Amino acid sequence: MTTNGHELQHFAKGVHFASAKQRFYGLEVGTKMSVFELDDGLLLHSPVAITAGSLESLGNIRYALAPNLLHHLYLDTAIRAGAEAWGAPGLKAKRRDLEFAGEIDAPCEPFGRDIFLYPIRSLPMTNEVVLLHRPSRTLVVTDLVFHFTPSAPPMTRAAMRLLGGYPGCKTTALERFQMKRARARIEIEEILSLDFDRLIMAHGEPIERGGKDALRDAFRWLMSRKSDR
């Protein structure tokens, strides 16, 4: 199945994703929209460009979540397709041209029991909201970690290696520099306490098994150090 030219891939029961090309400061990093089948319709996480009816074989588009201050470029297309828009803390002020149903400023379940949202306040550059899909035990992050593989473009791999984000599931030097570490330790511990095994990130390949271990390893540098910033 495709949506606006983006192939929609099945990941787990009730969970799908579509990958699209995306450049960041000239570097091809790709991006990923996750789609969740809920009782009252579809939830789009970090939307890519879509049109009304492009996902009709799965159901009606009900909600769209722009999960951080950077992943909002195509939220307007989701709204035009019928979605109720939700955003990360601070996004309303950044996108005054859009109408939001709400911002995720505390752990909550605005889309029903199947979806748990956890806002990360230790990384103000993005104010990322992490999503847990309880039925499939899938955690979805945006820019919290990356997982580029040897199939990524050579320049992407080279740049991410320089930033400490390749190979494997990693953070980069940007996260290490920007994070408020004392608060981040608490937040990462709370995220790791959630019940998940699968891990989807916006940039890189998803992890079908061992996602919690991969996330724990990605933040070993943070959890093992005592110096706070």
| pTM for the predicted model, two decimal places | 0.93
pLDDT digits (tens, 9 = 90+) for 38-48: 999 999 999 99
| Least-confidence region, from 7-11, 154-158, 223-227 | 223-227
Can you give the pLDDT at residue 225?
60
Q: Which pLDDT band holds residue 228 (cuts at 50, 70, 90)?
A: low
Q: Which pLDDT band holds residue 21 (cuts at 50, 70, 90)?
A: confident
Can you give the pLDDT at residue 25?
75
Residues across the chain: 229
Q: Which pLDDT band holds residue 224 (cuts at 50, 70, 90)?
A: confident
Q: What is the mean pLDDT of the chain?
A: 93
b/e 61-77 (16+ beta carbons within 10 angstroms → b)? bbbbbbbbbbbbebbbb
pLDDT value at 52 more than 80 = no
Q: What is the DSSP letter of 6?
A: E
Can you give the pLDDT at residue 22?
81
- Distance between CA atoms of residues 84 and 80, nearest Å: 10
Can you give the pLDDT at residue 97?
97
- Distance between CA atoms of residues 138 and 133, nearest Å: 5
pLDDT digits (tens, 9 = 90+) for 189-211: 999 999 999 999 999 999 999 99
Stated as kind and residue range, the H or E segment containing 157 is helix 154-162
pLDDT value at 160 more than 70 = yes
Count CB-CB contacts under 10 A for residue 226.
Answer: 6
pLDDT value at 167 more than 60 = yes
Count CB-CB contacts under 10 A for residue 165.
Answer: 26
The pair of structure tokens assigned to 206 is 């998803």
| Distance of alpha carbon 40 from the chain centroid | 22
DSSP states of 193-224: TS---EEEESSB--BSS-HHHHHHHHTHHHHT
More reliable by pLDDT, 1 or 22: 22
The pair of structure tokens assigned to 204 is 């890189």
pLDDT digits (tens, 9 = 90+) for 56-103: 899 999 999 999 999 999 999 999 999 999 999 999 999 999 999 999
Structural domains for the chain: 2-223 (3.60.15.10)
Can you give the pLDDT at residue 1?
53
Average pLDDT (6-34) is: 89
| Distance of alpha carbon 215 from the chain centroid | 13
